[in-house]
Amino acid sequence: MLKKLFGLDKKESKQVEMPEADGKDILASPASGEVVSLSEVPDPTFAEKMMGDGVAIKPSEGLIVSPVHGEIMQLFPTKHAVGIKTVNGIEILIHIGIETVNMQGEGFEAFVKEGDKVAKGDQLIKFDMNLVNEKAESTITPVIITNGDAVSSIEKQENQQVTAGETTVMTVNSK
């Protein structure tokens, strides 16, 4: 009843053609800006790779897109982080900013939900950069491989300007 009332029953589900699993995931940057080493993240949980290995993006605008073809495994209720699983089983966490969980979703808008299939470059989340700068510690956005035990190697492309959904930031080979 509520779905009909709010038109939620009419949402078209987008068909995403998934590539075959080949053991290699090429991750595009989820945001435009500059890709840097995780060691530059002002939070030891990320900087010391406690959550996993990866890179960080210093975003130049408030848009996060999918870095790969995959499935949304988790969208945090506060919309400050999203988890994606690739066709090869690699799990990616995109965490927008540092201490953004305390914003309780203010300034964040999600375009996906758990279970959605996404293609590289699909919009995931928009966020208000000015609000994040004002209310959180940083806009720097870690991109973490959370199931490192499934990875045989990670090749990172750090210290470069990147375009969301286009520039490669990591190549991940699964075991």
Domain boundaries, the chain: 22-174
Residue 55 DSSP SS3:
strand
d(CA 132, CA 110): 15
Tens-place pLDDT, residues 67-123: 999 999 999 999 999 999 999 999 999 999 999 999 999 999 999 999 999 999 999
**Segment 30-74, tens digit of pLDDT:** 999 999 999 999 999 999 999 999 999 999 999 999 999 999 999
What pTM was estimated for this model as a whole?
Answer: 0.89
Active site residues: 95
Q: Dihedral angle at the C-alpha atoms of 125, 131, 133, 134, nearest 10 degrees? A: -150
Pick the CATH number of 22-174 from 3.30.479.10, 2.60.40.1930, 2.40.30.110, 2.70.70.10: 2.70.70.10
Q: Which residue has the tokens 């000015």?
A: 130
* φ, ψ dihedrals at 6, nearest 5°: -100, 5
